[in-house]
A and B are shown apart, each in its own frame.
Chain A
Amino acid sequence: MKPEAMNKLPANPERATLDGKNKFLGFWFFLGGETVLFASLFGVYLGLRNATNGGVTANELFELPLVFIATMLLLTSSLTSVFATMALKTNQFKRMIGWFVVTGLLGLAFLGLEIYEFTHYVHEYEHTIRSSAWGSAFYTLVGTHGAHVFVGISWITLLIIRNLKRGMDLYTAPKFYLFALYWHFIDVVWIFIFTVVYLMGKVG
């Protein structure tokens, strides 16, 4: 981007127009609703976590190294998306796109790991969404998070393709900013998934 362009955007370009302000606030409220959505799933999971129906248990199933790698991927992607937001606020469009591409790729790696994990459980342990109430709760909670990651990757891909030539302005800034918020939220949910599902599953 041209360096002089820096002077043309206000300090918080994502909230400089009424439209941007509305999107910003509406999206935060949406995340508030998503908190309840995921909490309901966490509650269901906690209520059913010992309902293994005589099948494999959490302690036998989970492998911490795999979960640790997945966690590192997602935490790092949260950092790269912060870098992207900072580039957004200083109007460095190319740098922002670069960090968002890294974010998306890390998300993709996370998703690949999760798909591997699920197929592993189904084929090696016959642990499926139907085998027990705990299985149903596990796949629904972790799968809903995975679906959110998938939506996030599709979203940022579309945003980047659509706006690559357009550059940064008060119309595009809110769009990218909202994606970054969404991505952090997904990361927050994952923090609780690795704690409540995997680590507590290992504790017993």
Chain B
Amino acid sequence: MSAHAYKKKNPIWDWLTTVDHKKIGILYLASGAFFFLIGGLEAILLRVQLLYPEFNFVGAETFNQLLTMHGTTMIFLAAMPLIFGFMNAIIPLQIGARDVAFPFLNSLGFWLFSAGGILLNLGWFMGGAADAGWTGYAPLSTTSPGNGVDFYVLGLQVSGIGTLIGGINFLVTIINMRAPGMTFMRMPLFTWSSFITSGLILFAFPALTIGLALLMFDRLFGTQFFAAEAGGNPIIYEHLFWIFGHPEVYILVLPAFGMFSEIIATFARKRLFGYSAMVFATALIGFLGFMVWVHHMFTVGLGPIANSIFAVATMLIAVPTGVKIFNWLFTMWGGKVSFPTANLFAVGFIPSFVLGGMTGVMLSVPPADYQYHDSYFVVAHFHYVIVGGVVFGLFAGMYYWWPKIFGTMLNEVLGKLHFWLFFIGFHLTFFPMHFLGLMGMPRRVYTYLSGQSLDEANFAATIGAFLMGLATIIMVWNIIQTAVKGKKAGNDPWDGRTLEWAISSPAPEYNFAQTPLVRGLDAWWLEKRASNKAMVPAEPLDDIHMPDASILPFLLSLGFFIASLAAIFANWTIAIGGLGVVALAMILRSVIDYHGYHIHKEDLPDEGGEDK
């Protein structure tokens, strides 16, 4: 069967059936980038609508749809897959593994996510997209006319299953697949934070699954969960959504924190300051993340006791986050700091995120929250956290790991232009929003009146959005340029510290010809200090076992896609047919044996050739 590996594969079939974590990572990154561009376009349209008071660019109805889809797309279809893309592409390399624990499920997770993402956006072409806000609060969502919210509910449900599968996969991968010597306290911070994030996914997403399922039942089958007139209770939806929704914030930002920890240490040419404190702070943030969700619901009227408990828990989170901020600063302190684009984004993140953190503490005080609630102050806050934290992290990670993923270097001049335009545009857009909120401008409303001192700040915000758009175009141009005629990258272009830099760029199909022996934190850095040109192998050279490719994940996701689309239009015959495809794929998976195949050691390239 080993001939299999060297057979010329049809590229389309190869990408549809691949179970290679590096290729799945690229699939995640590409589709995440695609949805990021769509979500960005939606944001630009929103900002044009708000350029002038009482402006009529897209109108109220389209504004509601754009607003809902911008939030939903950015969180679920851009940020999540981009993070999963980096986790897939990097984590197995960082822990010295040949693969993830469940290659088949990994591929299934990706295809379910993409089926859900396409389903969500189909609403635009089939009678209007969702318009009940990214939170989909009942009863607005249960009574919203048309099919828009149905696309939201089923699209998120399908992609959510994919995310849950991905979370379990990375938990098991990190626990079971680490190379010899790679103890937990020697794991790179990106792996650590992704580990915690995977745990959060596992325990947070089921609450969303139930919230969405009940919403779907209310809309499609006439149940009464959230219908107050039949004894239902819409507050239940809010709880379910935020029991998921608050951990989701940490699901997004913790991997970004991990990326910053590695990038800042690499470009300060110093070991990360306070490694164990960083690990502990990450775990603590993850744990506390489950006990603060009610701060999204302070104005619901749950009473002073509930509000106080959750206010205190929310304030507590500032402590481990502060620990991290100081550790990053101390890592740079006394280091030989250089500023390629990756580090510019990492360093630019610190003050931006701190601003978002400060407004977060302001919002955690319930009486004050009654003033800020549903105003642009909240919009400013969460964009400072999510753009300033997550998006900066994803950009930093992109410039840092691009050579390892694709084997070429992104252009640094264009990269720096990207950073500065984005950084300035970001602050120009969102800083004025604090004041807009304090002056009383409500969020999610499609226009405002003139003569209320809101004009200038809104104008500035829109100009800032244009700058971010321009920055993104430059980034896309940079990517195209690099794809066409990018400079080839060496194995270790940044003089890195972790295991992924010890192998060729891009990594071979089997990652490590011989599983490496890890002798400490920053394993590759240690070997380089000891003048070793490669990692010490932990096993003799032998045949390498590889998993079989399979089309079943794609088929299974297609079945879910068909079933969901048919359910939206209440065509139950086709819906059952779609579920039949799902069942068939599962039965085939169960009946066919997947034993994998071997790459023979004689066919491996010479180890010495890797050293450039």
Give the B-binding residues of A (Cβ under 8 A).
Answer: 18, 21-22, 25-26, 29-30, 32-34, 36-37, 40-41, 43-44, 47-48, 50-53, 129-130, 132-137, 140, 158-159, 162, 171
Contacts and interface: CB of A to CB of B under 8 A. Distances in A.
B590 A134 contact: no
Contact of B164 (A33, A43, A52, A171): A33
8 contacts: A25-B171, A25-B175, A40-B211, A43-B239, A44-B225, A52-B231, A136-B214, A136-B223
A133 B225 contact: yes
A36 B206 contact: yes
B202 A29 contact: yes
Contact of A140 (B205, B206, B211, B223): B223
Given A25-B176, A52-B231, A137-B225, 17 more contacts: A21-B176, A26-B169, A29-B171, A29-B202, A33-B206, A36-B203, A36-B206, A37-B206, A37-B210, A40-B243, A44-B225, A51-B233, A130-B222, A132-B231, A133-B232, A136-B217, A158-B587
Interface string B550-591: 000000000000000000000000000000000000010011
The SS class assigned to the B binding surface is: helix
Contacts of B225: 44, 48, 133, 136-137, 140
Interface of B: 101-102, 164, 168-169, 171-172, 175-177, 202-207, 209-211, 213-214, 217, 221-225, 227, 230-233, 236, 239-240, 243, 587, 590-591, 593
A97 to B, nearest CB: 16
A159 B590 CA distance: 8
A118 to B, nearest CB: 15
Contacts of B203: 32-33, 36
A135 B221 CA distance: 13
A162 B586 CA distance: 13
Contact of A36 (B172, B207, B221, B230): B207
Contacts of A132: 224, 230-231
By Cβ-Cβ distance, the 3 closest A-B pairs, closest first, are: A51-B231, A37-B206, A136-B223
B590 A44 contact: no
B273 to A, nearest CB: 32
Contact of B168 (A29, A135, A171): A29
Contacts of B231: 48, 50-53, 132-134
Contact of A133 (B169, B177, B204, B230): B230
B232 A51 contact: yes
B224 A26 contact: no
A120 B337 CA distance: 74
A133 B102 contact: no
A130 B171 CA distance: 40
Nearest to B231: A51
A26 B102 contact: yes
Given A30-B168, A44-B210, A48-B236, A18 B224 contact: no
Contacts of A129: 217, 221, 223
B206 A40 contact: yes
B224 A133 contact: yes
Given A36-B207, A37-B206, A140-B217, A48 B233 contact: yes
A44 B236 contact: yes
B91 to A, nearest CB: 15
A47 B168 contact: no
A129 B224 CA distance: 8
Contacts of B222: 130
B299 to A, nearest CB: 20
A133 B214 contact: no
A162 B172 contact: no
A47 B590 contact: no
A142 to B, nearest CB: 14
A136 B224 contact: yes
Contacts of A133: 224-225, 227, 230-233
Contacts of A171: 593
B59 to A, nearest CB: 36
B274 to A, nearest CB: 29
A201 B19 CA distance: 49
B55 to A, nearest CB: 42
Contact of B209 (A37, A50, A162): A37
Nearest to B225: A136
A201 B590 CA distance: 40
Contacts of A40: 206-207, 209-211, 240, 243
A43 B223 CA distance: 17
B208 to A, nearest CB: 9
Contacts of A44: 210, 214, 225, 236, 240
Contacts of A43: 236, 239
Nearest to B204: A36
B202 A33 contact: yes
Contacts of A21: 176
Contacts of B210: 37, 40-41, 44
Q: Which of B102, B171, B172, B236 has the most CB of A within 10 A?
A: B172
Contacts of A29: 168, 171-172, 202
Nearest to B228: A133
Contacts of B171: 25-26, 29
A158 B584 CA distance: 12
Contacts of A158: 587, 590-591
B176 A18 contact: yes
B172 A53 contact: no
A48 B223 contact: no
B172 A22 contact: yes
Nearest to A155: B590
A122 to B, nearest CB: 14
Contacts of B164: 33
A48 B239 CA distance: 14
B230 A26 contact: no
Contacts of B202: 29, 32-33
A158 B210 CA distance: 28
Q: Which of B177, B222, B590 has the most CB of A within 10 A?
A: B590
Nearest to B235: A47
Nearest to B213: A140
Contacts of A137: 225
